[in-house]
Chains A and B, each alone.
Chain A
Amino acid sequence: MNIAAIVNNQTQSPEAVLFFILAPIMVLAALGMLVVKKAVHSALLLAVVMVGLAIFYIANEAPFLGIVQVVVYTGAVMMLFLFILMLVGVDSSDSIEETIKGQRIGGVLGSVGVGFLLISLLSRAELGQDYVGLDLINSEGNVQSIAKVLFTRYVWAFEVISALLITAALGAMVLAHRERILPRKSQRELAAERVRQTSIPVAGLPGPGTYAQHNAVDIPALLPDGSPSDASVSKVIAARGELANPANFRMKESNGNSANGEAGEE
């Protein structure tokens, strides 16, 4: 792309500055999408690309599209992707090595070939007339001009597109809908289930410090036979190792066995 080409019928220079900053970011983001292992990261990189595009739309005298791009496309569609990613499992990552023989090399070569050909065709194509720019059309505002054309010439296309949207929505619901095979469990059954489950104590977990001198959160409750119940203290505290030893707070025995209790007290 020789310098001379930039000189004639050019846009104002600030747009060039914008382009030469934002375009590389977008390309890097796109390449990142290919390379990054986690799906979430590639989703975010795609969001970056989309926002960049929105800016370019606005730069190309299409503010309505830019806003729509951000609001509808990046906002809704990208969020849909993230939502599905959450459903599928955020950490589902691809292993590096390729399963189908010759797919990776073929893919890269194929797409680079197509890209190279596109670019070479573009570089040789020329319009035969210089740029017209949209000032005249956008004279009473971009949205008004779009609306004027949309609802006159392309009204049928508009109706068909709306029909398509509805069917797509319906389709998605039908696809994602799961038939309820078993009847919905009522509260009664849930209660009975909980009683049957041996792992969860039916009466609920003893609060910390029960049968002990203090009800602090890090002191385990004592079971009737005197042994501390670790179910009564949150796992996080135990994990952090700040569990207090219940022996210190044991009630003094009126006679003989209080001696060994004393020893542990200080």
Chain B
Amino acid sequence: MSLDNYLYLSALLFTIGAAGVLIRRNAIVVFMCIELMLNASNLAFVTFSRMHGNIDGQLFAFFTMVVAACEVVVGLAIIVTIYRSRRSASVDDARLLKL
């Protein structure tokens, strides 16, 4: 089986993640979709590392994971604070920042 399939899979997962971000209104689900997109790109990294026979790909996937972790932590903290003040976790409710 050629390794390209993995790339197609990661592209597909990435698109689904993007669609999720655009369509779902619950902040946490949006956040999960972003995680999905990140994982999709990690898969692509690992596949390329294998294709090129160079470990850097994996290393980069590793760094992406760390960054994703930080992002999740801060993101969820924000969602919690918004939930506390607004009693709703929907993304559309926090829309004061406009002219």
Within the complex, which residue of A50, A85, A100 is in contact with B92, where a contact is CB–CB below 8 Å?
A: A100
Give B53-90 as 1s and 0s: 1 = Cβ < 8 Å from A's Cβ atoms. 11110110111011111111110111111011000111
Give B1-45 as 1s and 0s: 1 = Cβ < 8 Å from A's Cβ atoms. 111111111011111111111111110110111011001001100
Within the complex, which residue of B39, B53, B63 is in contact with A49, where a contact is CB–CB below 8 Å?
A: B39
Chain A stretch 4-21: residues in CB contact (< 8 A) with chain B: 5-6, 9-11, 13, 15-16, 19-20
B66:A146 contact, CB within 8 angstroms: no
A46:B36 contact, CB within 8 angstroms: yes
Chain A residues within an 8 Å CB radius of B4 = 1, 5, 122-123
Shortest CB distance A132–B (Å) = 3
Shortest CB distance B92–A (Å) = 5
B2:A42 contact, CB within 8 angstroms: no
A217 within 8 A of B: no
Q: Which of A112-120, A180-188, A203-211, A246-254 faces chain B? A: A112-120
Shortest CB distance B28–A (Å) = 6
B2:A5 contact, CB within 8 angstroms: yes
Assign chain A's interface to a size class.
35 or more
With both beta carbons as reference points, the residue of chain A lying nearest to B22 in the complex is identified as: A107
Q: How far is the CA of A156 from the CA of B61 in the complex (A)?
A: 16
With both beta carbons as reference points, the residue of chain B lying nearest to A99 in the complex is identified as: B92
A10:B63 contact, CB within 8 angstroms: no
A118:B11 contact, CB within 8 angstroms: yes
A133:B12 contact, CB within 8 angstroms: no
Chain A residues within an 8 Å CB radius of B18 = 110-111, 114-115
Q: How far is the CA of A111 from the CA of B36 in the complex (A)?
A: 14
Q: Pick from A31, A46, A167 the residue with the most CB of B within 10 Å.
A: A46
Assign chain B's interface to a size class.
35 or more
Q: How far is the CA of A69 from the CA of B35 in the complex (A)?
A: 12
Chain B residues within an 8 Å CB radius of A99 = 25, 92
Q: Which of A53-61, A219-227, A229-237 faces chain B? A: A53-61
Q: How far is the CA of A168 from the CA of B24 in the complex (A)?
A: 26
Q: Which of A73-81, A194-202, A258-266 faces chain B? A: A73-81
Grouping DSSP codes into helix (H, G, I), strand (E, B) and loop, the A interface class, with mixed when no group exceeds half, is: helix
A122:B36 contact, CB within 8 angstroms: no
B83:A171 contact, CB within 8 angstroms: no
Q: How far is the CA of A154 from the CA of B57 in the complex (A)?
A: 12
B51:A127 contact, CB within 8 angstroms: yes
Chain B residues within an 8 Å CB radius of A30 = 12-13, 16-17, 20, 36
Q: How far is the CA of A85 from the CA of B79 in the complex (A)?
A: 10
B70:A165 contact, CB within 8 angstroms: yes
B80:A165 contact, CB within 8 angstroms: no
Within the complex, which residue of B3, B62, B73, B76 is in contact with A131, where a contact is CB–CB below 8 Å?
A: B3
Q: Pick from B6, B7, B20 the residue with the most CB of A within 10 Å.
A: B20
A65 within 8 A of B: yes
* The 5 A-B residue pairs with the shortest CB-CB distance in the complex, in nearest-first order: A132-B53, A107-B22, A115-B15, A16-B1, A168-B70
User: Knowing that A80-B72, A178-B84 are A-B contacts, what are 16 other residue pairs whose CB atoms are under 8 Å apart, sorted by A's residue number?
Assistant: A11-B3, A16-B1, A30-B20, A73-B69, A84-B79, A88-B79, A103-B23, A111-B22, A118-B14, A123-B4, A137-B53, A137-B54, A149-B56, A150-B59, A161-B67, A176-B81
